[in-house]
Copies of this chain bind each other. A is one copy, B any other.
Amino acid sequence: MANKSLNKAQEALLRLIRVHAYSSAFNVLYKMQPADLALIFNYLTNAEKEWFIKSIIKNRKLPEVISELEEENTAQFLSLITETELIDILETIHPDDAADLLPLLGVEKQQEILQKLSKPQQRAISQLLGFAPDTAGGIMTTDFLALPETITSSQAITALKKIEEKPEVFYVYVIDEHQQLVGVLSFKELVMAQKDKKLNEIMHPDPICIETNKSQEEASSDIAKYNLLALPVIDENHRLIGQITVDDAIDVLVEGATEDIYHLAGLGKEEHAATSTLTSTKLRSPWLLVNLATAILAAYTISLFEETIAQYVVLAILMPIVASMGGNAGTQSLVVVVRSLALGEIGWRVGLKVVFKEIRVGLLNGIITGLAMGFIAYLWYQNLTLALIIVAAMIANLIIAGLFGAAVPLILRKFNLDPALGSSIFVTTATDVGGFIIFLGLATLLIKVLLP
C-alpha cells in the first residue's frame, strides 16, 4: 500500500517517525488535517501505529481521523485501541459515522458495545443501523438543527447559544408541532432577520427533502442538482429525522462514477492501483474467466465455418476487423446509455427511443466505416464480392452493436440491476458472435462467386 502520493507535511511526518523523533513528529502531526493523517496510517509498522494512535488521541483528532480511514484499515485500527477508547470515540463521533464503524466489530461485539453507550447515542445509532446502507436513511446523520416554527428569530438564537457547539451548521430546519418539516433557513438568514419575526415568516417554505428509503444516489443527485449544502431526510409521516450533508453526497457521486467505469471494465470497486498483486489477480480473474467462456463461444462460431475458411484463408485475416469494429461501436453506445442512466438523464420509459437512436447511429457509422473498409479490402485483394461482403457485415454488426449497447443496460435497469455490471460482456459477445456469423455466413453463401 506504499504507492499513494504524499504531500510535504505527510512526508516530513513519516521521516520523523522513521528516525524516532517523536516529539518533533507530534508537533507536525498536531497541525495536520484528519484526511492527511488517515493516509499516513498505510505507511506505518505496527509499533509505529500504536504511537500514532496514542498521539492522535492526545491531540483529540482520533474521531475525525477514524472517519477518514479507508475501509480496509478501519478494522485494524479498531483492533489497536482499548475498549474504553473505542467507547469514547463512539460517544464523540456523529451517529452516522458510529453506525458505519460498529458493524466492523462483528454482530456480538457490536451489541455488547452498543449497550455500553449513553442512551441518546445508543438510540441514534440503533435507528441508523436499521436503514439499508445504500439508502438515504443509511447515509444520513441524525445530527441536525431544528426549531419550532412559532418562535421568533431572537428566541431561536438564544436557544442555539444554549446548545453545546456542533462542528458545522448546514441549515436551520423549521418544524411544526408534529415534528414535520415545514421550512428551512440559512444560519445567516436567521441572524440577519428582524428580532421579533417568527421563523415561519422568514423561512423558505416546503424545502426540498427526501424519504429514508430512497437511494443514496438519488439523494446525492438532488444535492448536486439543486446546489444544496445538506438535504433533510423525512420519515413516512413527513417528520424530520436526519440530513444528508454535501461531503457525503460527493463521496457517493464520485464513487458511483468510479464504480460505473470499473464495472464496465470488469473490476470490483475495492481495487486501487496500490492494491497488492495477489488481491488484484484474485479480483480480476473471475471476470477474465467469464470472458474466456464468451471468447470460446465466439471461437465455436468460427469453427462452424472452418470449411469456408480452409477454402479461402483471406476470410481469417479480415474477420477480426468486423468483430473489433462491432465491439468498439457497442462500447460507445453502452457507455453513453450507462452514464445517462446514472446521471438520471433518461429512464426506462424512454428506452425504446434510445434503442432506435443507437440503431440509427450504428447504421450510419456502419455505412461510413463499412464503405471505407470495403474500399481498402478491394484494393488489398482485388475481389469485389469480398469487398461487398465486408461492407454488408460491418453495417449489420454496427446495427447489432447499437441495439445491444442500448438495450442491455436499459433491461438491466428495468430489473433493478446495475446497468454497468456485466453489460460489456453481453455486448461484446453479441458483436463477436454476430460479426463472425454474418461475415463468414455471407462468405459461405457466396463462396462460388467469392473464390478467385
Contacts and interface: CB of A to CB of B under 8 A. Distances in A.
Interface of A: 3-5, 31, 33, 35, 157, 160-161, 165, 168-169, 186-188, 191-192, 206, 208, 223-227, 229, 246-247, 249-251, 253-254, 257-258, 260-262, 264-267, 271-275, 277-278, 280-281, 284-285, 287-289, 291-292, 295-296, 298-299, 302-303, 306, 309-310, 313-314, 316-321, 323-325, 328-329, 331-332, 334-341, 343-347, 349-350, 353-354, 357, 360-361, 364-365, 368-369, 372-373, 376, 428, 432
B277 A357 contact: yes
B5 A349 contact: yes
Given A5-B350, A288-B329, A340 B309 contact: no
Of the listed residues A160, A254, A306, A341, the one surrounded by the most CB atoms of chain B closer than 10 A to its CB is A254
Contacts of A284: 329, 332, 361, 365
A107 B183 CA distance: 45
A361 B277 contact: yes
B35 A280 contact: no
Given A35-B225, A284-B365, A298-B320, A354 B273 contact: yes
Contacts of A265: 264, 331-332, 334-335
Contacts of A296: 321, 373, 376
Contact of A299 (B5, B225, B299, B318): B318
A222 to B, nearest CB: 9
A381 to B, nearest CB: 10
Closest 8 CB pairs of A and B: A257-B257, A273-B340, A316-B316, A5-B347, A227-B247, A265-B335, A281-B364, A295-B321
Contacts of A299: 317-318, 320-321
Of the listed residues A261, A287, A310, A338, the one surrounded by the most CB atoms of chain B closer than 10 A to its CB is A261
A325 B292 contact: yes
Contacts of A328: 266, 287-288, 291
A224 B247 contact: yes
Nearest to A312: B310
A331 B265 CA distance: 6
Contact of A274 (B186, B313, B345): B345
A418 to B, nearest CB: 14
Of the listed residues A285, A336, A340, the one surrounded by the most CB atoms of chain B closer than 10 A to its CB is A336
B273 A365 contact: no
Contacts of A5: 344-347, 349-350
B317 A273 contact: no
Contacts of A292: 321, 325, 369, 372-373
A215 to B, nearest CB: 15
Contacts of A288: 325, 328-329, 332, 365, 368-369
A250 to B, nearest CB: 5
A250 B253 contact: yes
Contact of A186 (B168, B277, B317): B168
A293 B289 CA distance: 29
Given A257-B258, A265-B335, A273-B336, A324 B224 contact: no
